A and B are shown apart, each in its own frame.
Chain A
Amino acid sequence: QLQLQESGPGLVKPSETLSLTCTVSGGSISSSSYFWGWIRQSPGKGLEWIGSISYSGSTHYNPSLKSRVTTSVDASKTQFSLKLSSVTAADTAVYYCARLLGIRSFFDYWGQGTLVTVSS
Chain B
Amino acid sequence: EIVMTQSPATLSVSPGERATLSCRASQSVSSNLAWYQQKPGQAPRLLIFGASTRATGIPARFSGSGSGTEFTLTISSLQSEDFAVYYCQQYNNWSTFGQGTKLEIK
Task: Please give the residue numbers on chain A whose beta carbons come within 8 Å of chain B beta carbons, in ascending order.
Answer: 46-49, 60, 62-64, 96, 98, 104-108, 110-113
With A106-B89, A106-B91 already in contact, the answer to whether A113 and B46 are too (CB < 8 A) is no
Q: How far is the CA of A62 from the CA of B97 in the complex (A)?
A: 13
| Complex interface: chain B residues within 8 A of A108 (CB) | 46, 49, 55
Contact A47–B44 (Cβ < 8 Å): yes
| Complex interface: chain A residues within 8 A of B44 (CB) | 47, 96, 107, 110
Distance of A64 from chain B, by nearest CB (Å): 8
Q: How far is the CA of A113 from the CA of B38 in the complex (A)?
A: 12
| Complex interface: chain A residues within 8 A of B100 (CB) | 46-47
Nearest chain B residue, comparing its CB with the CB of A49: B95
Interface size on B, residues (CB 8 A): 23
Contact A48–B97 (Cβ < 8 Å): yes
Nearest chain A residue, comparing its CB with the CB of B100: A46
In chain B, positions 50-102 with a C-beta closer than 8 Å to chain A are 55, 87, 89, 91-100
| Complex interface: chain A residues within 8 A of B93 (CB) | 104
B34 within 8 A of A: yes
Contact A49–B97 (Cβ < 8 Å): yes
| Complex interface: chain B residues within 8 A of A106 (CB) | 34, 46, 49, 89, 91
Distance of A35 from chain B, by nearest CB (Å): 11
Distance of B43 from chain A, by nearest CB (Å): 4
| Complex interface: chain B residues within 8 A of A105 (CB) | 91
Q: A47-B44, A107-B89 are in contact. List 15 more A-B contacts (CB 8 A).
A: A46-B98, A47-B87, A49-B94, A49-B95, A60-B94, A63-B94, A106-B46, A106-B91, A107-B36, A107-B46, A108-B49, A108-B55, A110-B43, A112-B42, A113-B43
